[in-house]
């Protein structure tokens, strides 16, 4: 404005108006500045009640340009929903500047902090497990990584830390957790990439109710810190449904219990448990991973490492009445999404072998696939069970967002390309040679 330049100087918390008597208009929007000056109270008629710092301003002595912005491919002062998704992901570092996404990342960080604090206070131990490892079946294809040292051999990226967390129970860790990345090569859905983050945990000497109670307690306590309301049953708990009843009542095993005026209120979170799932299902011939996993025509519904419920142990051990075997699996749903799932595990060599026999594996194939687990159980292993919660989904619900991408810093595009960096990419032949046999 004439000789006076007004600069709105912002950081993550607030904006302050800076008043600058300048010669030219050399400062532009999105520049990064260091400004030195004096804070002054504004005259009352100039108070800006929309800003936290609206009653003061900075009388500028000097301005140093730390970084000049000459190119802004996308706007960052809108909510961003109007910008094409691939463009947002191409310039994700700018996209994250917008207030909404910046807030989502902070919310997610606070959530991780709350959950971690709760578990540590309950004597859980945070342990990291490897990402370069052997396949763990979770019903998807594996991502494989060629080994340079062992030419012609491959690691698999874990579909989950399932086997390592069970091995930690054999190590008497007793209460484990980890925020783990999982990698699953499955068909991409609108808002899903090939990797996601789980809060993964496992406990020794527990029954279903112990794991479910731990998770329920953790969620109730941790979510007090957020602007959301939990809908609980008459006793103040998450309601529990048998899988069969859930299908009858809602037509699906993930459902939305919000009713009436809560229906579209994203601040209301209605958690529920689903239990008593069939252990096995007939292989869907169109699903490549299921065809691979279920050699007998039967495959697991959730997790091959689960234990059947007590009444079904005999049938399980004898490979009888396969469709009628129920697992100790418990799934957690919220507002129509599956938020997590887990089970009590088979902790004897015989029971784990029986599961793979039902799926049509020979002794040799069982040995090759999970021989290390069987061997570990042969040294003695406490009964144990656990669960994993999807951190992307949980953060999305708490943030009141409709897409997982809004709570992941650098999500994948719908066509499986990474944000900002254009991967996967081709490698020169000479780089590939070092892996060849």
Q: In the complex, which residues of this chain contact ligand ASP (CB under 6 A)?
A: 138, 160, 162, 303, 341-343, 386-388
In angstroms, what is the minimal distance from the CB of 159 to ligand ASP? 7
> By C-beta, is 91 or 277 nearer to ligand ASP?
277
Segments in 150-308 forming alpha helices (H)? 162-170, 208-222, 243-250, 288-293
> By C-beta, is 281 or 417 nearer to ligand ASP?
281
In angstroms, what is the minimal distance from the CB of 372 to ligand ASP? 17
Q: Which residue is nearest to ligand ASP (CB)?
A: 160
Is residue 65 within 8 Å of 32, Cβ to Cβ?
A: yes
In angstroms, what is the minimal distance from the CB of 427 to ligand ASP? 31
In angstroms, what is the minimal distance from the CB of 212 to ligand ASP? 12
**Helices and strands per DSSP (H, E), number in the chain:** 12, 18
Residues with Cβ within 8 Å of 274's Cβ and at least 6 positions away in sequence, in order, are 240, 241, 242, 243, 246, 253, 254, 330, 331, 332, 333
> By C-beta, is 17 or 197 nearer to ligand ASP?
197
In angstroms, what is the minimal distance from the CB of 60 to ligand ASP? 55
> By C-beta, is 105 or 127 nearer to ligand ASP?
127
> By C-beta, is 139 or 294 nearer to ligand ASP?
139
CB atoms within 10 A of CB 392: 22
> By C-beta, is 17 or 198 nearer to ligand ASP?
198
Residue owning tokens 């910008």: 83
Partners of 384 in beta bridges = 204
In angstroms, what is the minimal distance from the CB of 303 to ligand ASP? 5
In angstroms, what is the minimal distance from the CB of 91 to ligand ASP? 32
Query: What is the secondary structure of 104-160 as a DSSP string?
Result: HHHHHHHHHHHHHHHHHHTT-EE----SSB----SSSBPPEEE-SSSTT-EEE--S-
CA 149/CA 38 separation, integer angstroms: 62
> By C-beta, is 182 or 396 nearer to ligand ASP?
182
Closest C-alpha to 159, from 122, 190, 179, 133: 133
């Amino acid at each position: 404005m004439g000789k006076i330049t007004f600069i709105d100087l912002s950081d993550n918390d607030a904006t302050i108006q800076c008043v600058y008597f300048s010669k030219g208009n050399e400062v532009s929007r999105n520049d990064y500045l260091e400004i030195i000056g004096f804070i002054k109270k504004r005259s009352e008629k100039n108070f800006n009640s929309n800003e936290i710092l609206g009653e003061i301003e900075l009388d500028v002595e000097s301005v140093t340009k730390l970084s000049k912005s000459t190119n802004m491919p996308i706007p960052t002062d809108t909510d961003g929903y109007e910008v094409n998704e691939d463009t947002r992901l191409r310039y994700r570092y700018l996209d994250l500047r917008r207030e909404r996404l910046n807030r989502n990342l902070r919310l997610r960080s606070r959530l991780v902090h709350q959950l971690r604090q709760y578990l540590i206070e309950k004597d859980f131990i945070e342990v990291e497990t490897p990402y370069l490892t052997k396949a763990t079946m979770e019903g998807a294809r594996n991502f494989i990584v060629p080994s340079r040292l062992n030419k012609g051999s491959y690691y698999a990226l874990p579909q989950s830390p399932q086997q390592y967390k069970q091995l930690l129970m054999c190590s008497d860790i007793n209460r484990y957790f980890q925020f783990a990345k999982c990698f699953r090569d499955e068909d991409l859905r609108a808002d899903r990439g090939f990797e996601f983050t789980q809060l993964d945990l496992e406990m020794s000497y527990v029954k279903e109710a112990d794991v479910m109670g731990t998770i329920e307690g953790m969620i109730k306590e941790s979510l007090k810190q957020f602007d959301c309301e939990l809908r609980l049953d008459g006793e103040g708990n998450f309601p529990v449904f048998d899988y069969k009843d859930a299908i009858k009542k809602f037509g699906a095993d993930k459902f939305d219990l919000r009713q009436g005026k809560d229906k579209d209120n994203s601040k209301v979170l209605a958690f529920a448990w689903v239990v008593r799932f069939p252990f096995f299902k007939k292989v869907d011939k169109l699903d490549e991973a299921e065809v691979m996993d279920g050699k007998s025509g039967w495959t697991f519904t959730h997790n091959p490492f689960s234990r059947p419920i007590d009444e079904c142990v005999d049938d399980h051990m004898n490979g009888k009445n396969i469709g009628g075997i129920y697992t100790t699996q418990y799934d957690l749903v919220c507002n129509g999404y599956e938020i997590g799932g887990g089970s009590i595990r088979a902790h004897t060599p015989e029971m784990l072998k029986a599961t793979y026999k039902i799926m049509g594996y020979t002794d040799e194939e069982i040995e090759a696939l999970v021989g290390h687990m069987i061997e570990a159980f042969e040294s003695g292993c406490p009964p144990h069970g656990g669960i994993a919660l999807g951190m992307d989904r949980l953060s999305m619900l708490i943030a009141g967002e409709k897409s997982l991408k809004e709570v992941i810093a650098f999500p994948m595009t719908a066509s499986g390309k990474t944000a900002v960096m254009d991967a996967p990419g081709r490698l020169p032949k000479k780089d590939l040679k070092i892996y060849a046999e």
